[in-house]
Amino acid sequence: MDLNYTPEDLAFRKHVRAWLEHNLPPEPIRTLEDRRRWHRRLYEAGYLGMGWPKEYGGGSARPMEQAIVADEMARANAPAPTNGLGLGIVGPTIIVHGSEAQKQRYLKKILMAEELWCQLYSEPNAGSDLASLKTAAVDQGDHYVVNGQKIWTSGGAIADWGLLLARTDTKVPKHKGISCVLMSMRQPGVDVRPLKQITGSSEFCEVFMTNARVEKSDQIGKLGEGWAIAQTTLGYERGGRSLARITTYASQYHHLVNAARRLKRHGRPLIDDPLVRQKLGRIWAELEVERYSALRVLTQLERGEHPGAGGSLTKLSYSEFEKRFMELAQEILGPYGQLTDGAPPEYQLQIDTAVGDHGTWAYAFLWSRAGTIYSGSSEIQKNVIGERILGLPKETRADRAGATR
């Protein structure tokens, strides 16, 4: 056990920090084209697709190097690249399950942000019970015709392509009748409507498919293997954001402490109120525990071990923590915390959101409600932990056998 970074990792961190100092965009990013440009700079510097194999344009980097780059970007408050789902989910899926032709066709364009991707999984009636999805892909010889509706599609509004889970067989149990295909979002049969969330912004979309066309050559893996493929994809998170996430929390925390020095109750600064101090102490402890646990996961990844269902512990832990943290921020900031406009600088929170707006405490607070729902709610994570880590018996469920319809 040695929790010091190696000299190589320290040198790499220094190198990344220096690169960011010289290359950060001087102006906030406002347009998608600006963000694509920034994305390509990051890629050319070797800081995107780092974990992908070299032969497909990646860097074959170690998990720690990926974590360091993301961490330094968080430290520098650097804008995010675009195509997060292309880099994090679609690319790895194609690398693991795709044909050589598919790899040649799609991977480089993902890395260069020439084609932006979304993930078409959830449906209005298939959330936690994703395998009950109803969007149908009907075999027409050389292509499929797709009809149905998807929801919670991140980046749907800007995506050129979507990784789609669709039902190709209704006569087998629900987990067995799903296939995985790549669908062009730029066709008449695909209608994308932004979904306005409680934040007032629209990171997510609804996608309506009416006789949309998918080429047979764009099927990933075998017919009916879509569920299994989606399972490996969901488990592909490589811990890349593990340190960055905590660095962002820490920066927000120090903003909050500064606010607590200015704000008063009964004539006394909040920072001197024992109750507030207890709460601040608790959140810092929890934040650091997240960091320690992230170091443990990184150690596993560095040894080539896959955390598997352990990823559910990580996700459950940080998403629930983020809610508690943001509740405390709101408690300390009072109405300042709710401002979406007009906040004095000392009560602002400078973060770069996915859509390129300046962040606010209000936005961060509202957004914290998303983490315990997306990618499997906390309740689903606890089921996974109970069944796959602790080996507790599955509940008796009506849907484990029989055809879908």
Partner 1 sequence: MNFSFSDDQVLLKNSVRSALDEQCKSAHVRAMMEDSKGYGEPLWGEMAKLGWLGLPFAEEYGGAGLGLVELCLVLEEMGRAAYPGPYVSSVVLGGLGLVLGGTEAQKERWLSAIASGTARLSAALVEESLDWDPASTTATATKTAEGWELSGVKRFVPWAHVADAILVPARAPEGVSLFLVDPRAPGVSLTPMVGIDLGSRWSEMRLGDVAVKADAVVGLLGGATSLLEALLRRAAVCASAEMLGAARRCLDISVAYAKVREQFGQPIGSFQAIRHKCAEMLLGVESAHSTVYYAAWALNAGAEDAAVAASICKSYVSEAARKVCGEAIQAHGGIGFTWEYDLHLYFKRAKALEVLFGDAEYHRELIVRSVAP
Distances (CA, A) of 3 to 291, 298, 299: 12, 11, 10
Tokens, residue 7 = 């000299």
CA proximity to 363, closest of 396, 400, 333: 333
Neighbours of 152 (CB within 10 A): 23
Member of 171, 186, 394, 405 binding partner 1 (CB under 8 A): 394
Q: Which long-range contacts (CB under 8 A, 24 or more apart) does 198-203 make?
A: 198/366, 198/369, 199/363, 199/366, 199/367, 200/340, 201/353, 201/355, 201/357, 201/363, 202/157, 202/355, 203/154, 203/155, 203/354, 203/355
Q: How far is the C-alpha of 207 from the C-alpha of 362, rounded, in Å?
A: 28
Does position 385 bind partner 1 by CB under 8 A?
yes
Does position 288 bind partner 1 by CB under 8 A?
yes
Member of 24, 45, 172, 313 binding partner 1 (CB under 8 A): 313
Cα torsion angle, 123, 125, 129, 131, sign: negative
Binding mask 337-376 for partner 1 (x = CB under 8 A): ----------------------------------------
| Candidates 94-102, 121-129, 216-224, 299-307; binding stretch for partner 1 (CB under 8 A) | 299-307
- Cβ nearer to partner 1, comparing 192 with 259: 259
Binding mask 93-132 for partner 1 (x = CB under 8 A): ----------------------------------------
| Candidates 3-11, 88-96, 211-219, 322-330; binding stretch for partner 1 (CB under 8 A) | 3-11
Does position 324 bind partner 1 by CB under 8 A?
no
Name the minimum Å distance from CB 377 to partner 1.
Answer: 11
Does position 242 bind partner 1 by CB under 8 A?
no
Size of the site for partner 1 (CB under 8 A): 51
Member of 76, 136, 145, 271 binding partner 1 (CB under 8 A): 271
Contact 233, 92 (CB under 8 A): yes
CA proximity to 25, closest of 16, 35, 17: 35
CA proximity to 295, closest of 250, 245, 235: 245
Q: Which neighbouring-strand residues pair with 117?
A: 161
For the chain, the residue count is 405
Does position 393 bind partner 1 by CB under 8 A?
yes
Does position 7 bind partner 1 by CB under 8 A?
no
Any catalytic annotation for residue 33?
Answer: no
In this structure, what DSSP letter does residue 393 have?
P
Does position 285 bind partner 1 by CB under 8 A?
yes
CA proximity to 81, closest of 44, 36, 114, 111: 36
Alpha-carbon 256 to chain mean position: 25
Does position 274 bind partner 1 by CB under 8 A?
yes
Tokens 């650091």 found at? 288
- Cβ nearer to partner 1, comparing 5 with 208: 5
- Cβ nearer to partner 1, comparing 4 with 31: 4
- Cβ nearer to partner 1, comparing 114 with 379: 379
Member of 257, 339, 355, 373 binding partner 1 (CB under 8 A): 257
Catalytic residue numbers, as ranges: 237
Binding residues (CB under 8 A) for partner 1: these are 1-6, 9, 64, 253, 257, 260-261, 271, 274, 277-278, 280-282, 284-286, 288-289, 292-293, 295-296, 298-300, 302-303, 313, 316-317, 379, 381-383, 385-387, 389-396
